[in-house]
């Protein structure tokens, strides 16, 4: 049987027995039919099935599992909820998958210090839910927050719409418990701020699971703002919408979020949710302001004026929570709405300096034309983090090829405009070949040296982030939609 290692499986009966003794029979998935679920994450274009899945419940079990693998020099891939969008949890020459989703306890909530300590498998939204009634929240809010885990967020340094004001995962994690690839458990950071010494926590966050397996984390909580107000501005063209984004920022206003949808997405959203968006609108901005109730009226007026000044033909302010929720429903489910337009889609995650948004949107339009594809845009405009959605049909091999090529062209355009390959989805397997567009061989070598500090044998999630020769996966026609 062809295995993930590419030859005869290194997983023998003795190892299976050892792992069963560590985690229990029920925490091991061995049957090929059950393992099929784990052959990809939200990046569905590439697929590769692990030979074995282990689902430990404690750091000690993770440690014992990794020690058993370390003895045999077997590579492994960590996995949270599998909602990642760049193939970070795709096993590539890593026969064993270790899933942290059973480690799902919130260990302590300390409101006086605005700290919460969680196991890695806790779902992102559950953290905010646990403290919401007391007036606190956990800021990073990826669109998959109903499913994705804190461990996965740490691996990918996840963002979300509200990162414009509040920052991404790395800004909200103070300490982690990390199981190194040789099984040693280390505590990095502590619950106090201003840690001295090397920022090892910062090195592990965003390392995409290549530094070992994070099993526990201490997170910072924020106080809920007194009020949130959402407004929706409708523009006759994309350029004036992007100008309005810059004008808002230039006025010294940092909204909680600024999101943009272009015509293709507006139509899809309208067809699905009937928000009353005009059929001929070319661009919509969703702006959320948060803060003190006292100054909110002035601020809303100011932003509305800025929108109109930049050419908005209509500005709607959500009058109540129901209207606000409705506007956000359109944004957060935009991906789902797009599902009505084409059998398949792939989401890109490039990022450009905010002022280059008009250029990148023009570039995307011309890339779409060149490859004879439809590409919609719904994205975090305040951050310059674009999410072009490339529509295609997996039954058409040529269209799949063009979709992949269009994605690469978009990333090249981002880099040419002074941007970067990924704002929040990670490099994973998806964008690994594009890394040399941005970094020199020396840059990549030093990054590899950093990775080897934690994982000298490069057995933790091998063949990710930094391109190496010889890594291969099956590029299959996708049969499952990307997660949101």
Partner 1 sequence: MRLEPETEARNPALRAATELSALVGADRLRTPEGREALAADVIVEPHNADELSAIVFKCEVDGIPLAPLGGARTLCELRRTHVTLGVSLARMTRIIDYEPDDMTVTVEAGLTLGALNQTLAAHRQHLPLDPPDPPSVALGALIGAAKAGPLRLSEGAVRDLLIGVRFVGHGGRIVRAGGRVVKNVTGYDLMKVMTGSHGTLGIVIEASFKVRPMPERYTMAVLSCRDAAAAFEAAARAHDALPLIHIEVTSPGVAQNLGVAPDQFGVIAGLCGNRSEIDYQCERMRWLCGDAKCEIVQLASALRLYQRLRDFTLPVAGLSARIATLPASLAQSLQDCGAEFCAHAGCGVAELFMPGELGAEEAATLVARWRAIAIGARGHLRLLSAPPALRAGLDFFGAPSGGVLALSRRLKAAFDPSGVFNPGCFIGGI
The token duo for 190 is 């502590």
Our CB check for partner 1 shows the closer of 207 and 315 to be 207
Our CB check for partner 1 shows the closer of 106 and 444 to be 444
Closest distance to partner 1 from the beta carbon of 396 (Å): 31
Closest distance to partner 1 from the beta carbon of 254 (Å): 7
Closest distance to partner 1 from the beta carbon of 331 (Å): 17
Closest distance to partner 1 from the beta carbon of 246 (Å): 4
Our CB check for partner 1 shows the closer of 50 and 212 to be 212
Long-range contacts made by residues 8-11, C-beta under 8 angstroms, separation at least 24?
9/51, 9/95, 10/72, 10/74, 10/95, 11/51, 11/52, 11/74, 11/95, 11/96
Our CB check for partner 1 shows the closer of 330 and 423 to be 423
Burial of 55 (0-12, 13-18, 19+ CB in 10 A): buried
Closest distance to partner 1 from the beta carbon of 161 (Å): 11
Our CB check for partner 1 shows the closer of 280 and 443 to be 443
Bridge pairing between strands 28-29 and 283-291? unpaired
With beta carbons less than 8 A apart as the criterion, state whether 86 and 428 touch.
Answer: yes
Our CB check for partner 1 shows the closer of 96 and 174 to be 174
Backbone angles phi, psi at 195, to 5 degrees: -65, 140
Our CB check for partner 1 shows the closer of 304 and 326 to be 304
Our CB check for partner 1 shows the closer of 12 and 110 to be 110
Our CB check for partner 1 shows the closer of 70 and 329 to be 70
Query: What order do you get walking across the sheet with 28-29 strand by strand?
Result: 28-29, 52-54, 96-99, 76-79
Our CB check for partner 1 shows the closer of 326 and 448 to be 448
Other C-beta atoms closer than 10 Å to the C-beta of 450 total 12
Could you give the CA distance from residue 224 to residue 78 in angstroms, rounded to a whole number? 33
Closest distance to partner 1 from the beta carbon of 387 (Å): 12
- Angle 88-354-411 from CA coordinates, rounded to 5°: 40
Interacting residues of 323 by C-beta distance below 8 A, sequence separation 6+: 230
- Angle 370-360-284 from CA coordinates, rounded to 5°: 105
Closest distance to partner 1 from the beta carbon of 421 (Å): 5
With beta carbons less than 8 A apart as the criterion, state whether 155 and 88 touch.
Answer: yes
Closest distance to partner 1 from the beta carbon of 182 (Å): 11
Closest distance to partner 1 from the beta carbon of 295 (Å): 4
The region, left, alpha or beta by phi > 0 then psi within -120 to 50, assigned to residue 198 is: beta
Closest distance to partner 1 from the beta carbon of 383 (Å): 4
Closest distance to partner 1 from the beta carbon of 470 (Å): 21
Interacting residues of 435 by C-beta distance below 8 A, sequence separation 6+: 421, 427, 444, 465, 466, 467
Our CB check for partner 1 shows the closer of 216 and 431 to be 431
Closest distance to partner 1 from the beta carbon of 463 (Å): 15
Our CB check for partner 1 shows the closer of 203 and 476 to be 203
User: Within a 13 Å sphere around the CA of 401, how many CA atoms are in the beta-carbon half?
Assistant: 3
Closest distance to partner 1 from the beta carbon of 247 (Å): 8
Our CB check for partner 1 shows the closer of 129 and 293 to be 293
């Amino acid at each position: 049987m062809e295995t993930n290692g590419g030859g005869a499986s290194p997983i023998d009966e003795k190892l299976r027995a050892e792992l069963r003794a560590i985690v229990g029979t029920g925490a091991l998935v061995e049957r090929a039919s059950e393992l099929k679920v784990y052959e990809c994450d939200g990046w569905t274009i590439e697929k590769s099935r692990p030979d074995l899945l282990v689902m430990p419940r404690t750091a000690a079990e993770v440690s014992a599992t990794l020690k058993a693998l370390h003895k045999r020099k077997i590579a492994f891939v960590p996995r949270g909820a599998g909602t990642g969008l760049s193939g970070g949890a795709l096993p590539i020459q890593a026969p064993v998958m270790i899933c942290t989703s059973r480690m799902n306890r919130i260990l302590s909530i300390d409101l006086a210090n605005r700290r919460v300590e969680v196991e890695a498998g806790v779902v992102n939204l559950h953290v905010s839910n646990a403290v919401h009634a007391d007036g606190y929240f956990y800021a990073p809010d990826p669109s998959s927050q109903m499913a994705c885990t804190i461990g996965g967020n740490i691996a990918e340094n996840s963002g979300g719409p509200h990162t414009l004001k509040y920052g991404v995962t790395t800004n909200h994690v103070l300490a982690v418990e990390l199981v190194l690839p040789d099984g040693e458990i280390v505590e990095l950071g502590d619950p106090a701020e201003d840690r001295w010494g090397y920022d090892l926590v910062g090195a592990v966050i965003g390392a995409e699971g290549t530094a070992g397996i994070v099993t526990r984390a201490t997170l910072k909580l924020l106080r809920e703002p007194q009020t949130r107000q959402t407004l929706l501005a409708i523009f006759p063209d994309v350029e004036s919408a992007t100008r309005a984004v810059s004008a808002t920022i230039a006025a010294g206003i940092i909204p909680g979020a600024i999101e943009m949808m272009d015509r293709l997405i507006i139509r899809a959203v309208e067809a699905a949710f009937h928000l009353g968006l005009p059929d001929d609108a070319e661009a919509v901005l969703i702006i959320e302001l948060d803060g003190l109730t006292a100054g909110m009226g002035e601020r809303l007026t100011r932003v509305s004026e800025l929108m109109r000044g930049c050419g908005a033909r209509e500005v709607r302010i959500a009058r109540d929570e129901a209207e606000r929720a409705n506007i956000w429903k359109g944004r957060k489910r935009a991906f789902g709405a797009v599902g009505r337009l084409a059998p398949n889609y792939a989401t890109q995650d490039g990022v450009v300096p905010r002022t280059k948004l008009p250029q990148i949107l023009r570039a995307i339009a011309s890339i779409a034309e060149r490859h004879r594809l439809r590409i919609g845009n719904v994205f975090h405009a305040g951050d310059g983090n674009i999410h072009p959605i490339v529509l295609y049909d997996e039954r058409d091999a040529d269209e799949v090829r063009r979709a992949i090529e269009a994605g690469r062209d978009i990333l090249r355009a981002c880099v040419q405009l002074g941007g970067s390959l990924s704002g929040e989805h990670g490099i994973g397997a998806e964008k690994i070949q594009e890394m040399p567009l941005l970094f020199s061989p020396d840059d990549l070598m030093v990054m590899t040296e950093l990775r080897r500090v934690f994982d000298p044998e490069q057995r933790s999630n091998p063949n990710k982030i930094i391109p190496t020769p010889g890594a291969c996966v099956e590029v299959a026609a996708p049969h499952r939609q990307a997660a949101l």
